[in-house]
Chain A
Amino acid sequence: MNKFIAIEPDVCIGCGTCLAACSSGHREAGLQAQPRLALASTLDVTAAVTCHHCEGAPCMAVCPVGAITRADGAVLVNEQTCVGCKLCACVCPFGAIHPSGTSIAGVAGVKFDTPTFPRGTSALLSWEIGVYTRAVKCDMCAFDPAGPHCVTACLTGALSVQDAPCAAAARKEKLVAAAKANELAMRGSSTIRRP
């Protein structure tokens, strides 16, 4: 079974509350604080994009160390096992892998970075002194029985968990709509009439 987080772009206001909730939740669980969603915006669309937990997950297929596994419908990265090869990020069709690590800047007090590359560099290529990069991605907040924090936090209800009951209900709704449309379109094409 597969489940994932979907977004309704017209309802999204691009505020980033989902990113903040994601970051805080994972940091508190002892995981990387890097948000596992990213906001994308064009003239016509704004949406927080994240992992679809694909059935044929390409990330899982290419991982050389078996750090990516499937559990309870979600594709999970073990951040401790990951070697930071970034192959998963290259093959992900949604750009949903966020290479990230714990900066050593600030170990002696106030956080000062020493950049060695322009920030615009792809996260796949950037490298920071002393930082061990690993793949960070949506884990559906597997550490919390209450479910994904971004979905709860979204203040316009733009995010939803697409799981079995939800997807089944949505599919049924679509099927019914299609049947009705079909009836309208086909009316009069045969001689059979309801009373």
Chain B
Amino acid sequence: MEKHMAVCPYCGAGCKLNLLVEDGMVVGAEGLDGITNEGELCLKGLSGFDFINDTKILTPRILHPMIRRTKGAELERVTWDEALDFTARKLTEIKEKHGADAIMLTGSSRGPGNEANFVMQKFTRACVGTNNIDNCARTCHGPSVIGLMDTVGSGAMSVSIPNLENADLIMLFGYNPSASHPIVARRIVKAKEKGAKIIVVDPRSIETARIADLYIQIKNGCNLAFLNAFANAIVTENLHDRAFVEAHTTGFDEWWEVVKNYTPESVADVCGCAPEDIRRAARMYATAPSSVIGWGMGVTQQRQGVKSVHQIAAIACVTGQIGRDNAGLAPVRGQNNVQGSCDMGMWPSLLPGYQKVSSPEVRAKFEKAWGLPEGKLSAREGFKLTDLPHGVKEGKIRAFYNFGEDPLQTEPDSADMRETLESLDLLISQDIFMTQTTALADVVLPGTSWGEHDGVFSASDRTFQRFTAAVPPKGECKHDWQIFSELSTRMGYPMRYQDTEEIWNEVRELCPNFYGATYEKMAGTGHAQWPIPTIECPGTPTLYRNGQFNTADKKARLMAHDFIEPTEMPDEGYPLVLCTVREVGHYSCRSMTGNCRALTLLADEPGYVSINPADAAARGIRDQQLVWVSSRRGKVISRAAVDERINEGAVYMTYQWWIGKCNDLTMHVTDPLSGTPEDKHSACQVEAIADQVWAERHAQTLYAQMKDWLAGEAAAQDKEPALA
């Protein structure tokens, strides 16, 4: 049996593991002693390798390039040369006719790794000539990236995952680590064992609420009101660190002008919690020697995501709970390499290493390094991923290059997204699976899977780690960076790389904060945590030491905003709040985990809608029954999980299901500051289905049809192209 070192391709915890290989098949995974996982793996890490072997449980892998010669034609397998020529010609035509800004691309925050993404954004900027590149952070921690860059200067965790267990207090706000990051939940259990106090603020009584010293159940959608009141309590009780505020922040007075109006009593109705609980939490947080705030999608996928992040950062700053090893900010990233996508400049306003496209010096540096004439790089901020639907409707976006994402599954309002994708002149999908999005594509390009290529991932806490190939590429799959290079070469900007290390060294040279992260340093279970500006630098687990923030004046900018209620409030027709959440055993659009035997056995379609016993009883719904869930956007079948941990008046659906698809119900309304959809708050209704056997069969029929459709589209690849 061979063993090949890798980093888990699921959440952002960055767990090192060995892939076990027998006869060219990956047959198992075992934990390695990595910096964040210490040899442990959760169920996805342990059982999530099957998909590499093309099990076809959910959908087949794509092994050969395919194209539709004309819009709406059947997919046809072609040679790589033909596929790339076709793609280059189509993209060039669109660029000539509508301009470079009519082409939009999205990076992949999943298996491909940093090198593939770097080459993709280089292709976008240097060859296509646009900043229209984004990544799925837009729909998840985008507000954290933006909000933290505004206030403290770096859009990332300020503390490291291992140091969480040394904190004296951990406050979780809109974050359920047991489902999202079991390896982080493990650190929280360890912190509790070491005596830390735990505060959980969440509308659901999540796992961690059981071991919390204080659990505050809030109403859905009240975040900014709660945070403002929390800040108010800190200042009115004189718990703020005046010396720190004076020395290291700006804007306190303006901040207080807003915050002073939010007494805990004034928000009690909006938040649905006792004012004294807010005060108690504020006291515990401010007076603990070292406190960490962890947050997740509960904060970011809301109407006021960025503004809530501003306030979280402000709370840490006014109490001086930042800039120390065990005190700071912990927005834990969802996808394994979503930190990396942001690091690599898969962002319409940022070049790699968080260097702004608006800066002439930065552009000049990149132009010189990439052999471009002066002024070639666009200074214009590109489109956001969530601009796609209206960008296409308005005719501004004509082509979309989708790299390893499945927007038809993961973006809100699927019906609208489908119309968007179908209205494009050209949809390119570079993926490893025949996903719902890939099935609509005009060009299907098979990349290599995780397990078939090398690279570097960035874990959620800014830790770069290397992963390696365990098995050779299947079929005609090509490394993603090779596909981009060959396409770029055909479109007049030649790129040639020997391997990922050559690409990575280019990244290091261009990004001062990553320079010390050499492949050598990251060999085996090694790691490099940015900022790491020199070869000698051991890496930086903790940001903002001694109150030195990464803003221009080294001071944190305090910002506060007034609360507004969510866009769509429950009403008579749709009386329940719909909130989308995560499945512990599945990941992202589920194309990977849905093809793994153990994970599919544990959880399969149509997934669950979790509902409070009182809301279920009022609708005549019993546990495990199939039900209809409907909103103004659509209607899907799902299975009821009647659960006393769920707050009354709200239901929760995990977004991994293709039949019980919550994004058929969510709405495409975004936080104007980040373009992040308000996935955590829309209105819906849940109804019982009388004939349960019919419902079971109906769900199975829909599932079978879905699988048949995808297998049918993929079958085109079995027919070899005719010889030219």
Residues on A facing B (Cβ under 8 Å): 10-11, 13-17, 19-21, 23-24, 27, 33-35, 41-46, 110-120, 153, 155-156
Question: Cα distance A79–B464 when bound, in Å?
Answer: 47
Instruction: Check if B539 is an interface residue, CB within 8 A of chain A.
Output: no
Range of interface residues on B (Cβ < 8 Å): 35 or more
State which of B294-302, B424-432, B511-519, B692-700 sits at the interface with chain A: B692-700
Question: Cα distance A110–B703 when bound, in Å?
Answer: 11
List of 4 A-B pairs having minimum Cβ-Cβ separation, nearest first: A120-B624, A115-B696, A118-B692, A20-B43
In residues 147-202 of chain B, which contact A (Cβ within 8 Å)? 177-179, 182-183, 185-186, 189-190
A116 touches B693 (CB 8 A): yes
B700 touches A16 (CB 8 A): no
B707 touches A41 (CB 8 A): no
Closest to A155 in B: B40
Q: Which residues of A contact B47 (CB under 8 A)?
A: 20-21, 23-24
Question: Cα distance A74–B695 when bound, in Å?
Answer: 41
A156 touches B189 (CB 8 A): yes
Number of A-B contacts (CB under 8 A): 118
Q: Which residues of A contact B696 (CB under 8 A)?
A: 115, 117-119
Q: Which residues of A contact B599 (CB under 8 A)?
A: 20
Instruction: Check if B205 is an interface residue, CB within 8 A of chain A.
Output: yes
Closest to B56 in A: A110
Of the residues A16, A120, A153, contact of B623 by C-beta under 8 Å:
A120
Question: Cα distance A42–B613 when bound, in Å?
Answer: 12
> Shortest Cβ distance from B566 into chain A, in angstroms?
26
> Shortest Cβ distance from B580 into chain A, in angstroms?
19
Of the residues B42, B601, B645, contact of A155 by C-beta under 8 Å:
B42
Question: Cα distance A44–B178 when bound, in Å?
Answer: 15
> Shortest Cβ distance from B552 into chain A, in angstroms?
41
Question: Cα distance A118–B639 when bound, in Å?
Answer: 11
Interchain residue pairs with CB less than 8 A apart (25) = A10-B211, A13-B186, A13-B189, A13-B207, A14-B207, A15-B43, A16-B602, A19-B602, A20-B598, A20-B602, A21-B46, A23-B597, A33-B598, A41-B643, A46-B210, A112-B703, A115-B693, A117-B696, A118-B692, A118-B695, A119-B626, A119-B639, A155-B40, A155-B186, A156-B190
Closest to A154 in B: B40
Instruction: Check if B126 is an interface residue, CB within 8 A of chain A.
Output: no
A33 touches B601 (CB 8 A): yes
A42 touches B585 (CB 8 A): no
> Shortest Cβ distance from A117 into chain B, in angstroms?
6
A24 touches B693 (CB 8 A): no
Closest to A158 in B: B189
A112 touches B700 (CB 8 A): yes
> Shortest Cβ distance from B330 into chain A, in angstroms?
17
Question: Cα distance A20–B45 when bound, in Å?
Answer: 10
Instruction: Check if B584 is an interface residue, CB within 8 A of chain A.
Output: yes
Given contacts A15-B185, A19-B43, A156-B186, are A115 and B178 in contact (CB under 8 A)?
A: no
Closest to A27 in B: B597
Q: Which residues of B contact A19 (CB under 8 A)?
A: 43, 602
Question: Cα distance A120–B643 when bound, in Å?
Answer: 14
Of the residues B211, B584, B625, contact of A120 by C-beta under 8 Å:
B625
Considering residues A16, A20, A44, A114, which has the most beta carbons from chain B within 10 angstroms of its beta carbon? A20
Q: Which residues of B contact A153 (CB under 8 A)?
A: 41, 46
In residues 55-108 of chain B, which contact A (Cβ within 8 Å)? 56-57
Question: Cα distance A112–B703 when bound, in Å?
Answer: 8
B182 touches A119 (CB 8 A): no
A111 touches B598 (CB 8 A): no
Question: Cα distance A120–B182 when bound, in Å?
Answer: 28
Question: Cα distance A34–B47 when bound, in Å?
Answer: 14
Closest to B211 in A: A10
Q: Which residues of A contact B186 (CB under 8 A)?
A: 13, 155-156
> Shortest Cβ distance from B691 into chain A, in angstroms?
9
Given contacts A117-B696, A155-B42, are A43 and B624 in contact (CB under 8 A)?
A: no
Contacts A19-B43, A20-B598 aside, 8 further interface pairs with beta carbons under 8 A come to A15-B42, A15-B179, A20-B43, A21-B47, A110-B56, A110-B711, A119-B626, A120-B624
Question: Cα distance A21–B47 when bound, in Å?
Answer: 8
Q: Which residues of A contact B190 (CB under 8 A)?
A: 156
